Chain A
Amino acid sequence: MKFLRFAFGLGAVTLMQSLGQHLFSHFSLGIDLFLVLVVYHSLDNSPAWSSLGGSTVGLAQDALSGGLYGLHGFANTLVAYLSSRLQQRLVIQQPSQVGLLFVVAAALQLATLTTLQFLLVDAVELPGLVSMTARMSSSGVIGAMLFAFVGKTRELEGRWRARRSRRLKI
């Protein structure tokens, strides 16, 4: 079930990122939905499962984007592991805290990608400041909204189940 949910998430994110890119030509400069999936997935999973998820999402992203194959794979694996460890240590529950975690994760991903480029590619072009800021803030906002939305949905579902079981007892 967990695997199916993850696969569905990856499919949906690929579809939305592609659609966004088609509708707004500079979509991928400011928004990285793959990263949102990686961090969100690591929020309620073990570091091992998160790393595997991060790796899979990263390689899928690499297949669609340019540059060396494995750049996003490496960066997202690291981001997923650290996000999951951080979530375990600090028990992050509030949407604002989750948003901050997404911002930190986006910054870490950009730093890892840039470092890898410096080490492996001759001519490196650093991402622009506007693009970096946009990516970090959009990841934070989308991540916090997603977390809040799923939390609210689960709460409503819980209430509905409780009401239903009470009725059945009567």
Chain B
Amino acid sequence: MNQRWNQALLAALLLGQLILLSTNSTSRGSPLEGIVLGAVGPLAHAATLTKDSVVGLFGSFRMAGSLRQDNHRLRRELEDMHRTLVRLHGVEEELTRLSRISGYSRPEKGDFFVADVVYVDNASWLRSLVLYTGDAKPQHNQPVVTIRGLVGRVVVPADPYAKVLLITDRSASVSAMIKRTRRRGMARGAGEESLLLDNIPLQEDVRPGDEVVTAGIDGVFPRGIPIGVVTSVEPGHELFHRIRVQPHIEFALLDQVYVFNEQVVPADIKEVLSSKEGTSSSIIRSSGRQD
């Protein structure tokens, strides 16, 4: 192949990828990305299985001595959990009864499925996870959580794999509120495993240690999922605080997550809203800032 052919091919490849770059965004992956993720996902999954079996083998030798104690402790914990569950069932029934009496209709609580983390990319400026969802079919914008709090949302579903944009990614944002005061703001990824909580006025009472949870008004994340804790409050530019939030999750250590099947705003209503120009559609898109 001569030099001219080499340069023409290089130019074509670079141009093609520039077009690809300019047409996609981090909040919604391209179809090609889904196809490639489907192809390389099994290899990342195989690596997880290899690691699990190696760690499991060594772990079983190491932990053999403490198995009896662990068993005893776990049984006790299970009994405690069971008691809590029974109590919570009672509370739920009471809430349902009170809601019915007061005429308040609560949003339906959706289902969720468990997914394995097969790849974590926490390189300094790009933050994402790849999940193996098994039989469950992943969908765009599904919230991803763990028992400790919010992780992110699905941006590229490539059945049985899904790419998740972490809340700490600089292109991610979540409508959030301070649990103590119920004051709403916008939590956006600030990199380095932290978030910034925007749009909280200076006169608002915010203290380090305040719990931040999802506000449930962005059409993606249900209300009340823990996000993190306020670590610093400084006077920012203009009229707002500059609030830094430390997420509850240590993203590098994730191995299993829960993916919500719940649609906060039903798909048919979303379609109607997104077809109209106006405030309603911008609220729905506000969970993931478009690049």
A interface residues (Cβ-Cβ under 8 A, vs B): 11, 14-16, 18-19, 21-23, 25-26, 28-29, 46-48, 51-52, 55, 58-60, 62-71, 73-74, 77-78, 81, 116-117, 120-128, 131
Contact = CB atoms under 8 A, between A and B. Distances in A.
Given A18-B46, A26-B122, A66-B121, 4 more contacts: A18-B44, A63-B41, A117-B125, A125-B192
B267 interface: no
B127 A59 contact: no
Nearest to B48: A22
B43 interface: yes
Contacts of B32: 59, 69
A68 B26 contact: yes
27 contacts: A14-B44, A21-B119, A21-B121, A22-B47, A22-B120, A29-B123, A29-B124, A51-B6, A55-B13, A58-B17, A62-B36, A63-B37, A63-B156, A64-B40, A64-B119, A65-B121, A68-B24, A69-B30, A70-B20, A77-B13, A117-B125, A120-B22, A121-B26, A121-B170, A124-B125, A125-B124, A125-B125
B86 interface: no
A87 to B, nearest CB: 13
Q: Which of A66, A69, A120, A131 has the most CB of B within 10 A?
A: A66
Task: Bin the interface of chain B by size.
Answer: 35 or more
A107 to B, nearest CB: 16
A52 B9 contact: yes
B286 to A, nearest CB: 15
Contacts of B289: 122
A127 B40 CA distance: 25
Contacts of A62: 33, 36
Interface of B: 1, 5-6, 9-10, 13-14, 17-18, 20-22, 24-26, 29-30, 32-33, 36-37, 39-41, 43-44, 46-48, 50-51, 118-128, 130, 156, 163, 165-166, 169-171, 191-192, 252-253, 289, 291
A170 B120 CA distance: 59
Q: Quick one: which of A67, A69, A70, A121 has the most chain B CB within 10 A?
A: A69
A-B residue pairs, 5 tightest by C-beta: A66-B128, A25-B252, A18-B47, A66-B126, A67-B126
Contacts of B120: 21-22, 25
Nearest to B124: A127
Nearest to B254: A25
A121 B128 CA distance: 16
A63 B29 CA distance: 9
Contacts, number: 160
A133 to B, nearest CB: 13
A81 B122 contact: no
B265 to A, nearest CB: 25
A73 B10 CA distance: 12
A123 B125 CA distance: 10
Contacts of B170: 121-125
B51 A22 contact: yes
B21 A46 contact: no
A67 B189 CA distance: 13
A134 to B, nearest CB: 11
B166 A66 contact: yes
Contacts of A25: 120, 122, 252-253
B6 A47 contact: yes
B30 to A, nearest CB: 5
A127 B126 CA distance: 10
A14 B43 contact: yes
A67 B14 contact: no
Nearest to B165: A66
